[in-house]
Amino acid sequence: MTPEPPRRLGRGLDALLARKEPAKTTAPVGAATATPAPAPAPPVEEPNAAGSLRTLKLSEIRANPYQPRKEFRPEELADLESSLRINGLLQPITVRPAPTGSGYELIAGERRFRAASRLGWTEIPALVKPVDDRMLATLAMIENLQRADLDPIEEADGYQRLIDDFSLTNQEVADVVGKDRSTVANALRLRQLPASVRRMLQDKQLTAGHARALIPLGTERAIVDLAREVSANGLSVREVERRVQAGRPKPPAAGKKATPGAAPAVPAGASGAVVRQIEEKLRRKLQTGVSISLSAKDKGEVRIAFFSNDDLERLLEVLGVSLD
C-alpha cells in the first residue's frame, strides 16, 4: 500500500505554547533510576505567558479530556519506558490547571506521563500553562498530528469534536491545525463508513484511500463486503474504484426513462471505454462518485455525487468554484 504523504502543519505545538526551553541541569530528570531525581529549585514564573516549569505529583495530573488518541500501543510505551529508565525525562510534559481548581490536566505528553506512571515515578517535571478548552483540544490534535500518532478515524473524530464542541466550520478547523480545508473534509467523510469498516481502517487492513473509494457504494452491506475483499485479496485503490463503479445501478434499456439516482447510460464499444476512463480519472481527482452519460454524438451530462453540505463545499473548492 502506498505510504501516506507527509503531514503539513502550520504554527506547530511549540509556537502555540510559546514555550521556552528550560534551563539545562547536570543530568536529565530520572536518568538511570526508576524514580525521578529530587525536585529542582522552585519554578521560575514566566511573565510572558509561556508558563512555569514545576515538579508535580503524578497523582495530581489527569488525562486531557479532548485527547483524540484512543489507543496507546504497549510496544510504544515499552520503548519509552526503556528510554526514561536509561536517559531520564528529556522534555517535560505540558499541563494546565484543572478547571475544577484541583489538580492539573494534560495538554501534551500523555505517552511520557503513562510511561512514567508504569515505571513507578511519583513526580514529573511539567510546564504549567493556563489555556482554555478550545486551545486544549487544538493542542491535543496538533501534538498527535505532528507525530503522526492518530489513525484516520481518530483524526476524523478529533476534527468532528472541534466542530461540535466549539461550533467551528471546516475552514476554521483547517486553520487551527494547519491543514487544507479539503483535507479536513476528506477525513470527515470517513465517519460515514460502517463501524466494522472504520475498525478495519484503524487496524490498518485498509488505507484511507481504499476507505474513501468505498463510500459511493452507499449501502452498508455493499461497503462491508467489498472492504473485506480488499483486506483478503490486497486490492489496489484503483481496482476498488472500478468495482464500486461496476456495482452501481445499471443504466436503463434504450428508450426507457432513467430512474432517479440510477447511473446514466454509457454507449457501448470504443466510445464507452473512453467514457469509463474519463469517469475513473474524475473520481480519482474529486474523491467521489462520478458518472457520464452521452445523449447524442457530442452531447451528454456529468453527474457528481456529494454526501453533505461540507462535501459539496469541498468539491467546489477542488473545482475552483467560489461562492463569494
Residue 285 near residue 296, CB atoms below 8 Å: no
**Number of Cβ within a 10 Å radius of residue 225:** 14
Active site residues: 110
* SS3 label, residue 120: coil
Q: What is the CA radius of gyration of the chain?
A: 25
Judge whether 108 and 19 are in contact, CB under 8 Å: no
The 3-state secondary structure of 49-64 reads: CCCEEEEEEHHHEECC
Distance (Å, rounded) from C-alpha 2 to C-alpha 107?
33
- Residue reference for cell 466494522: 196
- Distance between CA 49 and CA 131 in Å, rounded? 10
Residue reference for cell 502550520: 10
Amino acid occupying residue 87: N
Question: How many Å apart are CA 322 and CA 84, to the nearest integer?
Answer: 52
Taken in order 143, 149, 152, 157, is the CA torsion positive or negative? negative
Helix (H, G, I), strand (E, B) or coil at 106: strand
Neighbours of 233 (CB within 10 A): 8
Please report which residue ranges of the chain form alpha helices under DSSP H: 13-17, 74-87, 110-118, 133-146, 152-166, 170-177, 181-189, 195-202, 208-214, 220-233, 237-246, 269-286, 309-318
